[in-house]
Amino acid sequence: MIAVIDYGVGNLFSLLSSLNYVGLNTKLTNDIEEIKNAKGIILPGVGAFRDAIGNLEKYRLKEILINEAKNGKPFLGICLGMQMLFEKSYEYGEYEGLGLINGTVEEIKKYIPENSDLKIPHMGWNSLIINERFKDDKILKDVDNNEYVYYVHSYFAKTDMKNIVAYSEYGTKIPGIVKNENVYGMQFHPEKSGDIGLKLLKNWGELIK
């Protein structure tokens, strides 16, 4: 069973439906024992970083997620769930993340040219450029360079290229898929990204023994 973490982040119906469609056995849960016994963990998320990390602490989930990830359990953060994998966020303040990947979460508009006509939030389809060092990573099985995925966000991860599996260009490099050993993150919404999103979810599921 894969534990999809339930901590009050809203409607997860489309994500759960997509996971079910690709054959992954999942359960929406915030039960600590179920999370410990799960074969993998998915941390979804929409909304503000402060509220999300606060809810993890409220449900006493933060420490267990860190421990399970550090013990080698396959872990996937999606959208805001990906952002929480990093050390710190500067979204409307300064907040500590899970610290599973080195880097910070910062406002996109601070890193795009002032005269740019790019709009924030970064919303819609954008191509995913594969980092050459990760071209053989199992998460990218049967995934071609420049496939399109669907984003909706105003903040992004600032991290080293050694952590970036694939990225999109939007006035700056937007990490689309990140990785640190057994921990992966996807900034875009795989459940809204058509066949390529389903393929990526399936590939992640195949990493689970």
Q: Domain of 179?
A: 2-207
Residue 21's pLDDT is 97
Residue 50's pLDDT is 95
Residue 209's pLDDT is 75
191 is a catalytic site residue: yes
- State the burial class of residue 127 (Cβ atoms within 10 Å of its Cβ: 0-12, 13-18, 19+): middle
79 is a catalytic site residue: yes
Residue 55's pLDDT is 96
Catalytic residue among 68, 79, 122, 153: 79
87 is a catalytic site residue: no
Low-confidence ranges of the chain (pLDDT < 70): none
Query: What is d(CA 110, CA 108) in angstroms, rounded to the nearest whole number?
Result: 5
Question: 137-156 in b/e burial notation, b at 16+ Cβ within 10 A?
Answer: bebbeebeeebebbbebebb
Residue 30's pLDDT is 96
What are the tokens at 166? 């694939």
Residue 11's pLDDT is 74
What is the SS3 assignment for 72?
Answer: coil
Catalytic residue among 68, 106, 153, 189: 189
Catalytic residue among 106, 147, 191, 206: 191
Q: Give this prediction's pTM.
A: 0.97
CATH code (residue 18): 3.40.50.880
Q: Do residues 122 and 175 touch, judged by C-beta distance below 8 A?
A: no
What total number of domains does the chain contain?
Answer: 1
